[in-house]
């Protein structure tokens, strides 16, 4: 039984195959129907969502299945009943489970018990479906999946959040040079940096954590940022502003990157905070391709997991 709980659950070869399939599905949306029946996939949200709900529901329908959207506030998984009891119930009826939740340990417990593939639709620690879509977007703009290896991806902002961690693992798996530029109090989890470094050693990529925005962005092929206040951290919004201001992505920062650098943002974006409107809405931004690629990438990972049960 295969799951997609963190980016390095796919080997480099498997990630390449999923990204190739993503491009195929972008060109031919109905090329695969692994959920014909329709077979049901549970899509559960313990945190807010827009893109993830829309793209998973569309993905499951276009693969021939039925998306069973579950409101985590009603289900109260782990409160009303244990995660393992929920996993047993869902596993008897669902073909796969997609879950956006808090601690990574929750989705690991679901995967250990459910008996069907489980996909991480964002946890506090990782957002692997987003980074799969991001890699697909880089491939789309750089002449294919084969062009990913060797690209420098510079992420500036909150180095301790799910996007930074997923860029480290997913980018290293793709053979990219991943740079994280962040304040010293918001650095990535050192265990994840170690895992990404080990993966990069296999792929020819590299991993660097810097506390200087300009050094991070210098010569980068791909530039990314994310909110300074991730879901669940809203109470810290005021204290989180000052340390991140020097890491804002603005036109001055973009001038340091490669002249043809592309800009990614997983959205929601806060213009004037982590990124200026000029950059986010400017000619180097590919955020709408990136948002569309959530659909294609999630179809590809669902098809991959269903093929490997
Ligand atoms: N780091 C953000 C990503 C949102 C898609 C958060 O967790 O809120």
Cβ of 162 closer than 6 Å to ligand 1, yes or no, is yes
Q: Collapse the DSSP code of 66 into the 3-class scheme (helix H, G, I; strand E, B; otherwise coil) and give the result.
A: strand
Which residues are catalytically annotated? Answer: 100, 127, 130, 226, 266, 294
State the closest ligand 1 atom to the C-alpha of 233, by its place in the atom list counted from 1.
8
Q: By C-alpha distance, which of 275, 245, 247, 246 is closest to 263? A: 275
Quote the percentage of the chain above a pLDDT of 70.
100
CA of 162 to the centre of ligand 1 (A): 7
What is the residue with the minimal CA distance to atom 8 of ligand 1?
230
CB atoms inside a 10 Å sphere around CB 244: 21
pLDDT given at position 309: 81
Task: For residue 183, give Cα distances in angstroms to 145, 158, 248, 279, 300.
Answer: 32, 8, 11, 21, 35
C-beta of residue 222 within 8 angstroms of C-beta of residue 152: yes
Cβ of 227 closer than 6 Å to ligand 1, yes or no, is yes
Helix locations, the chain, DSSP H: 12-27, 51-62, 72-75, 83-93, 104-114, 128-141, 162-173, 190-203, 213-217, 237-244, 251-254, 277-280, 287-307
Reading phi first (left if > 0) and then psi (alpha if -120 to 50, else beta), residue 123 is in beta
Cβ of 125 closer than 6 Å to ligand 1, yes or no, is no
pLDDT given at position 145: 98
State the closest ligand 1 atom to the C-alpha of 162, by its place in the atom list counted from 1.
1
Retrieve residue 75's tokens. Answer: 């289900």
Cβ of 225 closer than 6 Å to ligand 1, yes or no, is no
Cβ of 123 closer than 6 Å to ligand 1, yes or no, is no
Residue that is written with structure tokens 């991070």 in the block: 216
Residues of the chain with pLDDT under 50: none
In a mutational test of the pocket of ligand 1, which residue from 48, 122, 232 has the highest number of ligand atoms less than 8 Å from its CB? 122
Cβ of 230 closer than 6 Å to ligand 1, yes or no, is yes
CA of 240 to the centre of ligand 1 (A): 15
CA of 150 to the centre of ligand 1 (A): 27
Residue 176 phi/psi, 5-degree rounding, is: -90, 165
Using H for helix, E for strand and C for coil, what is the string for 82-145?
CHHHHHHHHHHHCCEEEEECCCHHHHHHHHHHHCCCEEECCCCCCCHHHHHHHHHHHHHHCCCH
Distance CA 128, CA 121 (A): 7
């Amino acid at each position: 039984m295969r799951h997609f709980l963190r980016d390095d659950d796919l080997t480099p070869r498997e990630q390449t195959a999923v990204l190739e399939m993503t491009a195929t599905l972008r060109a031919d949306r109905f090329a695969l129907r692994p959920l014909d029946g329709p077979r049901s996939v549970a899509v559960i949200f313990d945190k807010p969502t827009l893109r993830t709900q829309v793209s998973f529901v569309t993905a499951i329908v276009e693969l021939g299945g039925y998306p069973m959207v579950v409101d985590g506030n009603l289900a109260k998984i782990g409160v009303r009943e244990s995660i393992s009891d929920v996993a047993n119930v869902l596993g008897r009826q669902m073909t796969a489970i997609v879950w956006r939740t808090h601690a990574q340990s929750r989705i690991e417990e679901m995967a250990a018990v459910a008996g069907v593939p489980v996909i991480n639709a964002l946890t506090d620690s990782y957002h692997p479906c987003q980074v799969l879509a991001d890699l697909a977007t880089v491939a789309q703009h750089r002449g294919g999946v084969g062009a990913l290896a060797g690209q420098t991806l510079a992420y500036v902002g909150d180095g301790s959040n799910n996007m930074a961690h997923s860029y480290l693992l997913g980018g290293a798996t793709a053979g990219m040079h991943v740079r994280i530029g962040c304040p010293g109090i918001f650095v990535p989890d050192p265990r994840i940096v170690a895992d990404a470094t080990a993966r990069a050693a296999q792929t020819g990529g590299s991993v660097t954590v810097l506390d200087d925005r300009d050094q991070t962005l210098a010569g980068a092929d791909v530039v990314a940022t994310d909110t300074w206040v991730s879901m669940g951290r809203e109470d810290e919004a005021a204290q989180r502003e000052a340390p991140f201001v020097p890491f804002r992505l603005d036109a001055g920062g973009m001038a340091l990157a490669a002249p043809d650098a592309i800009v990614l943002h997983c959205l929601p974006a806060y213009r004037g905070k982590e990124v200026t409107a000029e950059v986010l809405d400017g000619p180097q931004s590919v955020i709408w391709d990136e948002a569309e690629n959530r659909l294609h990438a999630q179809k590809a990972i669902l098809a991959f997991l269903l093929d490997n049960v």
